[in-house]
Amino acid sequence: MKNKTLKNFDFDKLAESFRKEIAEFGALLNLIYEQQNCLMEHNPISLLQATSRIEAQLPANQLATADRSALMQQLGEEVGLEELSLNNLLNYIPQELQSLFKALVDEIISLRFRIKSKTQMQQKLLGQAQMINSSIIERVLPTEKTYNKHGKSILSISGVSL
């Protein structure tokens, strides 16, 4: 499985790319928790700010993932594979580094799962909040005409025009 060219591969650089990706995913997860708190507190201004911070964080996450993927691609090429997945990575890591890389891979997989499940929950909460807001707006600002063309109220309570 392993060949001699792996002695020239920079596993420290690969480990550092994993650490960077973990740090970026951790930052994103913290922002998602912050956004969830804003939802629960019904604070629309803070929610918009938290959402903006999440959007600003996403490029850093994408860059960290791309850097790690590029190094894994390089390792894959050195061992003669077109693609090297996270699940197969340990097969090509030197024995003395396997526990380190196993922990790094496990953490990335865990963070991705937590982000995905939190994001799905956020979408449900946002959907419910939007439905509630829409029903409130409909009651406060009805789409039906309230006044006729002469400015007289067309709403009535118990048959009495307002």
Q: Which of 21, 31, 26, 36 is nearest to 55 (CA)?
A: 31
* 32-77 pLDDT per residue, tens: 999 988 888 888 888 889 999 999 999 999 999 999 999 999 999 9
User: Tokens standing for 41?
Assistant: 């507190």
pTM: 0.76
pLDDT of the residue at 144: 62
Core vs surface per residue 9-19: b (16+ CB within 10 A) or e? bebeebbebbe
pLDDT of the residue at 128: 78
Asked if 36 and 118 count as a contact pair (C-beta separation under 8 A), the reply is yes
Residue spans of the chain under pLDDT 50: 1-5, 159-162
pLDDT of the residue at 10: 93
pLDDT of the residue at 162: 44
- Number of H-type helices and E-type strands within the chain: 4, 2
Domains of the chain in sequence order: 4-161 (1.20.58)
